[in-house]
Amino acid sequence: MTDTNASPLAVDFCGLNFATPLVLLSGCVGFGEEYTRVQGFSNRDAGAVCLKGTTLEPRLGNPAHRVYETPDGMLNAIGLQNPGVDAVLNEILPRLDFEESRFIANVSGSTVEEYHEVTRRFDDSPIDAIEINISCPNVKEGGVAFGNDPDMSARVVAACRRATRKPLITKLSPNQTDIAEGARRCIEAGSDAFAVINTLMGMAIDIESRTPVIGNNQGGLSGPAIKPVALLKVHQVHQVCRGHGIPIIGQGGITSAEDALEFLIAGASAVGIGTALFYDPLVCRKINAGIAAYLERHQLSSVAQLSGTLQLHQPQAPRCGC
């Protein structure tokens, strides 16, 4: 791994050295090779690559349509199509260059036992960290998503914690009642970091056929449309994390350096780039340049000096206007 300590963009994330604060998000870059071979991409453009969601057995995914563009965003319902953990371990990981990039596995499942087993398999691999996608439905609990229930979330994190010594990153759902409480429970269960947020649930309708456009009826909404929600959630989770030294990957609609800087100021230690890659595959280079220019302009020597520096307005008593 190239030493990046001298770079103001370098980030220490759970003891892992990221060349930049940018993380390529799960589901947006396949299993890494699909993106890193894009002409003009450099391994130093991103600090880490989060691989596609992986389950114990292969999955074919949802029926078409799986992706649909919306105003300022994108709906997707891929359905966790993947070749299964054994194929990822034996066929995909050996082709990745771990000398140049950090790679994060994304673990998904339909039961607590499946999460534990997939995590255990990745523990004995060169993968750098493991992200837990707790937005999956628990088949034993009638399809209720793990991430929308703090008790279920904690159970999954605890099970994965028992299965690995690698850094655990819990991907939090914005569709829960109290994301800060969910984060607190996950910290108690052993989470080392968070990815905030996962997609919001949404729908698009074909008015001629009067049917949902997405074959799964509903899908996850990503892109600029969710950025204000994501920023608030990062701020709320940061209030819980800062006393524990728990870092956050802030994500949700980041398309520019200004967007990334907002997330860092709100409390993120790193930022995730996803939907923007679909229309600008080299956007990371522009975002890195913008962050570096901001740090220099404000005489900051590192991203860490900027993280969590949000200054909130103090509430004032209402004026009667008399």
The two beta strands, 168-172 and 129-133, are parallel
Contact 132, 154 (CB under 8 A): no
The residues annotated with a catalytic role in the active site are: 136
Say which residues have a Cβ less than 8 Å from residue 151's Cβ, sequence separation at least 6. Answer: 185
Contact 173, 147 (CB under 8 A): yes
Contact 49, 35 (CB under 8 A): yes
Q: Is 94 exposed, middle or buried (0-12, 13-18, 19+ CB in 10 A)?
A: exposed
Quick count: other Cβ atoms within 10 Å of Cβ 27? 20
Element (H, E) at 137: strand 137-138
